[in-house]
Structure 1
Amino acid sequence: MKIAMLTNTYLPHVGGVARSVQTLEEACRARGHEVRVIAPEFAGAEPSPHVLRVPAIQNFNGSDFCVRLPMPNIIRDFMEDFQPDLIHSHHPFLLGDAALREGWKMKVPVVFTHHTLYERYTHYVPLDSDALKRMAIQLATDYCNLCDTVIAPSESIAALLLGRGVTTPVRTIATGINTGAFETGVGSSFRKRAKFRKNTTVIGHVGRLAAEKNLRFLTDALIPCLQERPDTVFLLVGDGDAREEMLSRFAEAGLEDSIHAPGKLTGSDLCDAYAAMDCFVFASQTETQGIVLAEAMAAGNPVVALEGPGVREIVRDSENGSLLPADASPEDFSQALLGLVSSPALRRNMAGRARLSAKDYDTVRCTDQMIACYTELVAAQRRPEAPENSSWDRLVAGIEIEWELLAAKVSAVTAAVIETPATEARLD
């Protein structure tokens, strides 16, 4: 099978979508499928015969995101040469539009994974407002209804999409992780390199350090815990705009020596970091699937987290961690964390259950589900009675999809002024 994946974020960008695409493409390629990725240019990106980089504006609006420039002929020529059986879109705009254009013209199925709650990321765009959030919701909803199948990374997101009026078939397929790699990390090696004292209890967090990850709340919750337990260290893995603010606030609380922040880690270094932790903390309310939660659990780490989408599916209170209400205070979070930090026996008991929970997110299992989805769509598209795709057919399809994309944009603008069923739906 030939699979084309279009994504606005890709390696070496640090983030859940980039890692999701990488994991899926590598797993599909390992099964013998041909995979090509179309992504924006990105500083430090290594050339690859499997990746088409399209011109892009770097560090859009001061963020670490790139925005591709509209040069459709580059993508068109690439697609004509590759002749994919299926297109997998990972965003509902920019290169997501290109995915639909090529899919409709070439008469191949388009799959879309709803990775992100886009309305919670509008602060990266100038003139952020409630109207802009409604536009983002409506745009993503209309985009879903132009695709052949929508992938929801969790049941929470699947239910939300249906509530918003998505009529395209929705399947729940989580992003897979290499559980074996995280199970075999060498924590003692990382602890030695980090110069942690013997018997130090390590609280960990991994991820892109950005405002939407609720890191101020997490910092407020960690400070009293670290102050009460001087034998405890916070291991902060990742990078982003919120990093300096977090480190400054810990310093103001006199906790410089209780923080170890090595920045972005990958490969065996990341696995070793997870293995060096005794527990994991997570406060984000913007997840569609908490990939780092599955990674942490695969390494045997119980989790303390706030209830939310993508979190409630994996964290089970009093079994593999502590799941607090979404409106819990930093003090509530801190007390739950102290209970875990203070009880090695409780952590050991939860660690085994955490590892079992992570098995549901193993790459093999998740890839099986995705390949089955691909296979069904391609088989349906290749029905014997399907007519040949002539130049005229492509022209007509091109006009149709441009009209549909324009209609979706108009619908999104309308939603900025008037509530729609999509914008009125709420995430439980």
Structure 2
Amino acid sequence: MKILLATSYDYPHLGGLSTHMATLKIGLEARGHEVDTLSFSDVPKWKRDFIARGPSFLLNKASLGAGYVWTLKRRQAFLEEMMKRPDFPKYDIVNAQDVFATLASIQAGFPTVTTVHGYLTYEGISKGSVEEGSKHADTLMAVERDGYRKTRAVITVDTRIKNYVKKEAGIDGTAIRNFINVDDFKPDSENKAAYRAKHNVDATAPVFFVPRRLTKKNGVIYPILSFPAVLEKYPNAQLIFAGTGEAMDEMKKLIAERGIGNNVHLLGAVDHSVIKEYYALADVVLVPSVFSAGVEEATSISALEAMGSGSPLIACAVGGLKEIVNHGVDGLLVEEKSVEELSEAMIELLDHPDKGAQYAEAARKKIEDEYSHTAAAEKYESIYKASL
């Protein structure tokens, strides 16, 4: 088949959706399909900056959420415009990665299935882009329902999102949990010292790595709040964050207030190919997601990558994380927003590295057995064929 993976967001970018697209493309191509991508990044820059993004600031000043909705609708229009061009390639199926790409593809006349990665409306509320109960939130929900009802098939990345689509739109989707390239993310401990030297990380320091977009639902403030207790016992421990987002300023403030700036590092955006090196140099990976404005973590790609890379994982017991981590067998789960539980778990894995190694070994086996990109691509392929 000739397949197009389309999104109204940027691609590639740092985040789970982009990683999902790239990994699915590899899996589908391994099965003999021709796969292309289309995204907002393919729109001319002047259109992105002056039409889609430019007016949003002023619109939001007048009414919070107006600019957010404006930007998303312009993205849809730009994708639809490109897909309707006479020279645009023909595809057997378009797998849209969000409802705005879905509607653009349908309007352009392509057979379309949709992968739902999250809760569009509630995520907008969670990050402060729209107000709960506002007309703009109602508009976003109307777009969601429209897209889910018009697409030929809905795929969700976990069962909670499947239930959400059913509740809001009355559509039965198929849950296919997120996945990783198991050939790419694999244990690499033999290069741990080299990676620490490359990235100027103390060779002897205990290192916690947080590969998370810096947004509220990802709970990124909680490792900072938990870290002083860890430093009391391990004063040279290091806490490293890779990601950007609206929580950055709050995190910097908390770090300064606690006087732990020498031990906490905010790297900002890190290329996905380099993230692998941080998994390898870390002693423990943290995925501290929280419940926020109706939004729960799906099957976290960051958690899967950590488990595939041979790093012991501590995650919060929310959303899809509860599905993929078997507490005390292949990782540790802690109560969300519990500073004390998180610090205790961090100290536990430093006190007992042999226990962490056992978790990591079990986690790698689980990833190979259940979260392979090639196995997921086969499932997607079957849905594409059934939708034609």
The TM-score bracket by the shorter chain reads 0.7 to 0.9
Unaligned runs of 5+ in 2: 61-66, 291-295
Percent identity at matched positions?
21
Asked if 2 retains the 8 angstrom alpha-carbon contact of 1:189 and 1:272, the reply is no
What runs of 5+ residues in structure 1 fail to find an aligned partner?
42-50, 379-428
Taking structure 1 as reference, are residues 53 and 342 closer, same or farther at Cα in structure 2, changes over 3 Å only?
A: farther
The residue type equivalent to 2:215 in the other structure is: A
Alpha-carbon displacement from aligned partner over 1:225-277 (angstroms, at most 9, x marks no partner): 23442132112122233234323422332212212333322354221110111
Residue equivalent to 1:97: 103
Q: How many residues align?
A: 361
Q: Decide whether aligned partners of structure 1 residues 26 and 52 sit closer, same or farther in structure 2, where only a CA change above 3 A counts.
A: farther
Partner residue of 2:64?
none
Aligned pair partner of 1:240 in 236, 245, 252: 245
Q: 2:127·2:215 contact (CA, 8 Å) conserved in 1? A: no
Equivalent in the alignment of 2:293: none
Q: Which residue of 1 aligns with 2:85?
A: 77
User: Residues of 1 paired with 2:138 and 2:244: CA distance?
Assistant: 29
* Amino acid corresponding to residue 358 of structure 2 in structure 1: N
Q: Is the 8 A contact 1:290 1:310 kept in 2?
A: yes
The 5 A counterparts of 1:19-418 are 19-41=19-41, 55-56=47-48, 57-58=52-53, 61=57, 67=72, 68-69=74-75, 70-71=77-78, 72-77=80-85, 81-93=88-100, 95-102=101-108, 105-106=109-110, 108=111, 110-118=112-120, 119-122=122-125, 127-131=130-134, 133=137, 136-137=140-141, 139-167=143-171, 169-185=172-188, 186-285=191-290, 286-326=296-336, 328-359=337-368, 360-378=370-388
SS in 2 for 1:317: coil
Q: Is the 8 A contact 2:229 2:343 kept in 1?
A: yes
Give the conservation status (yes or no) of the 8 Å contact 2:30–2:374: no
Q: CA deviation at 1:127?
A: 4.8
Structure 1 contact 121–212 (Cα < 8 Å) conserved: no
TM-score (norm 1): 0.76
Between the aligned partners of 1:254 and 1:16, the Cα distance in structure 2 is: 32
TM-superposed deviation, 1:58: 4.0
Q: Is the CA contact 2:335–2:341 (under 8 Å) kept in the aligned structure 1?
A: no
Aligned twin of 1:3: 3
Confirm or deny: 8 A CA contact 2:114 2:151 kept in the other structure: yes
Shift of 1:21: 1.6
TM-score, normalised to structure 2, is 0.83
Q: Secondary structure at the match of 1:175?
A: coil
Q: Provide, for residues 50-105 of structure 1, a one-character-per-residue CA deviation record: whole Å limited to 9, x for no partner.
A: x6668422486599997445344432116x64221111111113x33212212xx3
Distance 2:152 2:375 in 1: 22
